[in-house]
Structure 1
Amino acid sequence: MLETSARLLRLLSLLQAHRDWSGADLAGRLGVTPRTVRRDVDRLRELGYPVHASPGTGGGYRLGAGAELPPLLLDDDEAVAVAVGLRTAAGQGVEGIGESSVRALSKLEQVLPNRLRRRVGALTAYTVPMLRAPLPQGVDPAVLTELADLCRDGERLRFAYRDHDGSATRRTVEPHRLVCTERRWYLVAWDLDREDWRTFRADRIEPRPPHGPRFAPRTPPAEDLAAYVSRGVSTRAYAVHGVVRLHVPLVEAAQRIGPADGTLEAETDKTCLLRTGAASLDLMVFHVLFMGIEFEVVEPAELADRIRSSRDLLSRALDRGVPSAGPRSADPGPAPRTPRTRDGADRTPGTPSGSGAG
């Protein structure tokens, strides 16, 4: 009996770890016959686990969704990761998830062994979170899970979408991946009507079921989807594009420039290139200046001209008269300014600005 129970737990762990299993694969993993696998699957069903089976050469077993949530199997590292994740999921970018996270964490900590509870407790007691306030337009968790399921199952998605200017469109896409920044979620998908890859802000998506049919996965637009989305939200989404050379190493620049501000590319051990965008050249001038990093314009030439015009304007303003404060023995100079994002919010260096895609 003990051997059977251990095998059932092993079978359940395999079904949770993979989407589809053939009977032969499960039998090989468990070291039993396909007939024993069928009996064990029946036992799991009696315990409330919805294990679906499809016949034929391409068939197999799949752990499906049931009317009630059955127990899950987690190893030590998975349990700690879930607990820590729940503690830090205080609604950052996902609407209404804070209270749900607290309830789920309370249930999880009730059943954690002492050795794991001590690990989670130490992380909690000696960690001080410094998180941003939630955005006013968070993502509905149900929408996120629906998008993730469609990406996993390879099913077409139909949805209403609000562009950055507020206009509404209807889209039919083949969803590929969800990409998240500190505060926003994006869906990378193949747009069937436009026959091209597109990036959609998840908080602007309103699914319109029914979804489907299933589709064959396409080659993604880039190996590094995080960099692909960063280029989209920081450069391609804007009318004006620019490249500037920053006179700091890439690592230092990355601590001050977030993925929504532009993409960085190493050039030498002392310089890197920033590719960015803005709604106008004037806004790009402010965007580059307020980074507080020594730079030079690579392109376009019009950006350099606009910076010269801004310099001349500031010089004339200073020449018209600055109140004299008299001699000082130790003038500390002007107080340092906090870098600001393109939407005007204060930003601590090293955090992304949170500007979204259109």
Structure 2
Amino acid sequence: MTTSTARVLALLEILQGGGLRTVPDLAARLGVDERTVRRYAGHLLELGVPVDSVRGRYGGYRLAPGYRMPPLMFTDEEALAVVLGLLAGRRAGLVTTSASAGESATAKLLRVLPAALRRRLDALLDTADFTARPRAATAPETGVLLELAEAALHRRPVAIAYTDRRGRTSDRTVLPYGLVAHAGRWYLTGADPADDEVRTFRLDRVTALRLRSGSFEVPAEFDPAATVLDSIASTPWTHDVSLRIRSGVQHIRGHLPAGIATVTTPDEGTDWVRIRIRAERLDWIPPVLAALDRPFVVERPAALRDLVRALARRLDEYATDEPR
């Protein structure tokens, strides 16, 4: 969409608010001169929008009484994409508004669509089901997400008030490199200008935000998503698990995604890969190792070796037990 087209639509949106709008006021709001405002009003008239021109000292423009925008001219595929996008965003836990706001947005969209298309989309929403359960996550404030997005785009430092996972609060300055959505939560990744260390922050834990002066450059080839996954995988938990597995990285990643484990090769040319996992519980790890079906060594903790042996004994009993 060109800048002039966007401003013509912005003019229409202003006029739909009702009342008479003076030319100087419209020029100031659109960031153009008064002559351009008159040209934009002419464009709306060419599109069939009934714009009334009121002459005189306090004249300006207004929409004809009773005028309403026509139904949105979506194709079936476009309308389906928008409605399913709203639904998927809510179920994934990534919508930053309340559930009622998402539902009202969907209802408003359906209300202005042509009747035949609306009936078909209503039928889909009433009959569709999902195999994955909706994610329950604490979404960040809409203003925080949008302001951080602008700061990251324009390379502006930000000052944030942050509460960490242990409930400790602090004031920080961050150079926002990028925003990442992962597992129902939004994350900010960026550098601390005090020590140039890259850090990751959950947006729902940001309690205040303020733009700061200055600018910065993002390091070449910086990958925000990979940085967030590495940060989550290296978060300190109750158990620090270290394994060596004789397998390719791709096969391991099919069972241990990047958000769960970090993968490194200990020696160049070897086919053994080192795995690091931070976990609150260990009982889920032995079944994953069994599913990998590759030689492995448990370096730590010793409690994990006991759980692996216990699973091996149970599997052996299941395999040798005679059917009744």
Q: Percent identity?
A: 22
Question: Over aligned residue pairs, what C-alpha RMSD do you find?
Answer: 4.8
The equivalent residue for 2:5 is 11
Q: Give the superposition deviation at 1:303.
A: 2.5
The residue aligned with 2:50 is none
Correspondence for 1:229: 228
- Are positions 1:140 and 2:138 aligned together? no
**Match for residue 278 of structure 1?**
278
SS in 1 for 2:300: helix
Whether 2:160 is the aligned partner of 1:163: answer no
3-state secondary structure, aligned to 2:90? coil
Unaligned stretches of 5+ residues in structure 1:
1-6, 17-34, 48-69, 319-323, 332-358
Instruction: Report which of the two has the higher share of strand.
Output: 2
1:321-336 to structure 2, matched below 5 A, reads 330=323
- Which residue matches 1:27? none
Please say which of residues 186-195 and 125-134 is displaced more in the overlay: 125-134
TM-score, length basis structure 2: 0.60
Separation in structure 1 between the aligned mates of residue 214 and residue 120 of structure 2, nearest angstrom: 43
Contact preservation (8 Å) 1:163, 1:204: yes
Ranges in structure 2 where 5+ consecutive residues have no aligned partner: 11-31, 45-68, 266-270
Number of the residue aligned with 2:56: none
Which residue of structure 2 lines up, in the alignment, with residue 242 of structure 1? Answer: 242
In 2, Cα distance between equivalents of 1:122 and 1:251: 41
**Alpha-carbon separation, structure 1, partners of 2:287 and 2:246:** 13
Q: Could you tell which deviates more after superposition, 150-159 or 78-87?
A: 78-87
Q: 1:161 to 1:78 in 2, by over 3 A?
A: farther
Distance 1:216 1:41 in 2: 41
Whole-angstrom CA distance in 2 between matches of 1:207 and 1:111: 37
Alpha-carbon separation, structure 2, partners of 1:80 and 1:95:
21
- Report if the CA contact (8 A) 1:243-1:276 is conserved: yes
Cα 1:182/1:82, change in 2 over 3 Å: farther
Separation in 2, partners of 1:110, 1:79:
12
Q: Which residue of 2 aligns with 1:288?
A: 285
Q: How far, CA to CA, are the matches of 1:328 and 1:241 in structure 2?
A: 33
Q: TM-score, normalised by structure 1?
A: 0.55
User: How far is 1:123 from its partner?
Assistant: 5.3
Aligned mates of 1:167, 1:43 — CA distance in 2: 53
Q: What letter is aligned with 1:86?
A: L
- Cα shift at 1:95: 6.0
The C-alpha deviation readout for 1:212-233, integer Å capped at 9, x for no partner, is 224133126633x323211110
State the match for 1:39 in structure 2: 36
